[in-house]
C-alpha cells in the first residue's frame, strides 16, 4: 500500500500511486508499504535543516524506517517515507521542459531507491537511481496511454 499525503491539491495522486506501486513490484518490493508526502519549499527546507543540517529547500528526502537486510529490503512491512517539495519539483520540471507529474514520479522513484537501501556517493552509484527513474517515467507513459 502507498499512502499519499498532500498539503495542497495534487491532481495526479492516483497515477502517482499506480506508478510507484508498479515500480515497487518491478523492484521486488511489491509487498512493502510506504508513504509519500507532498509539501512546499518552506516545509522541506525545515526538514532538510533538521535532518541533514542543510538550510535550503531540496527536491526529495527519504526516511527509511529500517536498514536493509541481506536481501536488500528492510524486514519491516513499511519501508518509510518519501517527502517531495512540489515547489522545487515545479521549478525543475519547467527547467527541464517536462511536466510536474513526470518530475514528481521521478522524484518518488529516487526516494524509493533510497528506501531500498541505495545511496549515490559516486557517479557509478547514480546508475541505479537513473535506471529506476527511467522505469518510473516509462510506467507513467504507459499509464497515460491507457487512460
Is residue 51 marked as binding?
no
Is residue 110 marked as binding?
yes
User: Under a CB-based contact definition with an 8 Å cutoff, are residues 64 and 71 in contact?
Assistant: no
Q: Which three cell numbers stand for residue 118?
A: 541505495
User: Under a CB-based contact definition with an 8 Å cutoff, are residues 59 and 102 in contact?
Assistant: no
Rounded to whole angstroms, the Cα distance separating 15 from 74 reads 26
Q: Which three cell numbers stand for residue 44?
A: 522541506
User: Under a CB-based contact definition with an 8 Å cutoff, are residues 34 and 67 in contact?
Assistant: no
Is residue 114 marked as binding?
yes
Question: In sequence order, what are the residues at sequence separation of 6 or more whose Cβ sits closer than 8 angstroms to the Cβ of residue 116?
Answer: 27, 29, 68, 72, 73, 79
Binding-site residues from annotation for Zn(2+): 110, 114, 120
Residue ranges for the known binding site are 110, 114, 120
Amino acid at each position: 500500500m502507498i499512502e499519499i499525503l498532500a498539503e495542497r491539491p495534487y491532481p495526479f495522486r492516483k497515477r502517482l500511486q499506480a506508478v510507484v506501486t508498479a515500480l515497487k513490484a518491478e523492484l521486488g518490493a511489491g509487498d512493502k508499504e510506504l508513504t509519500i508526502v507532498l509539501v512546499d519549499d518552506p516545509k522541506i527546507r525545515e526538514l532538510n535543516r533538521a535532518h541533514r543540517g542543510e538550510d535550503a529547500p531540496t527536491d526529495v528526502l527519504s526516511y527509511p524506517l529500517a536498514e536493509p537486510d541481506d536481501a536488500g529490503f528492510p524486514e519491516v512491512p513499511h519501508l518509510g517515507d518519501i517527502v517531495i517539495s512540489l515547489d522545487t519539483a515545479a521549478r525543475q520540471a519547467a527547467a527541464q521542459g517536462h511536466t510536474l507529474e513526470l518530475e514528481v514520479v521521478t522524484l518518488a522513484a529516487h526516494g524509493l531507491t533510497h528506501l531500498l537501501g541505495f545511496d549515490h556517493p559516486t557517479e557509478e552509484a547514480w546508475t541505479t537511481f537513473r535506471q529506476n527513474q527511467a522505469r518510473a517515467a516509462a510506467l507513467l507513459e504507459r499509464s497515460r496511454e491507457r487512460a
